[in-house]
Structure 1
Amino acid sequence: MTEFVVPEAGAYVPTEQDLREIEEWFARYDALSAEVDVERMADMAVFPLNLVSDDSKGNGWAGQWSRAEFMRTMREVMGGEEDVSFESTRTPHFLSASLAVVFTDAVFTVGGRSQAVRYADVLVKRDGAWAFQTMIQGGWGDLLRR
């Protein structure tokens, strides 16, 4: 029988630098989103990218995207000609110095129409740089199943 040993570590307490790095990462990502620079957005991810959502029938869904699938879908979703703006409040929860789950409450305004959303991202730090690896948001399952 294999023995599993849980590491003896309490909850990780992020440093000011940890918090600043996450804030700066999201500022870069938000700026690229506003510019609809999907290729550079993809540069900030680890692929395959995990996705977790649910559909219009309330069924949970999980899957993965390749870089090409991410870029194609994000271009479709973000590629309109209307002005896009958003305001976000983010709450990072660090599991370690290199793993964080970040909850976001945001209001997106597209062409004068606003919508409030809540989602979460799992970020991993590799070679000193943060990248997102999992996107979690309700309501996308119908689109993701195509």
Structure 2
Amino acid sequence: MPVRKADLLGGQRVDAEMVAAAVTSPNGTVLVTEDGTGIVACCQLERHDDHTCFGMFAVAPPRQRDRPGRQSLAEAERFAREQWHVGEMRMTVITQRADLIAWYERRGYTRTGELTSFPYGDKRFGVPRRPDPAFETLTRKLG
């Protein structure tokens, strides 16, 4: 059975201040995917000189099989390439989420082996339910 983020982290993982900063950042944007019923997916992009960071990705659970996540990721890549003219997308994924990492790999992302520790003590990122969460950076060249 796949490991869900909720299996690894409890508590609040994003707060209103983080969302407000993402929406108003001069070096970033938030992309929202909607259908006739409302928001079905969203993500945050942050522009850097040579790459874009992809994060705060969420897809409405009842809609996950309808492919809005795949479509949102493709739109984020297109936006970064065409609007910001950057050649690489980067993201961090919790290492224990093997199923999610495999999903990104099927979409052309590569594991870098670059690991960063979980920010213990900062409850904005959640409260670990395990003693070993870490993040791995994944990258993809945008052609």
Q: TM-score range by the shorter chain?
A: under 0.3
TM-score (norm 2): 0.26
Higher relative contact order (CA 8 A, sep 6+): 2
Which structure has the bigger radius of gyration?
Answer: 1
Instruction: Give the helix-richer structure, 1 or 2.
Output: 2
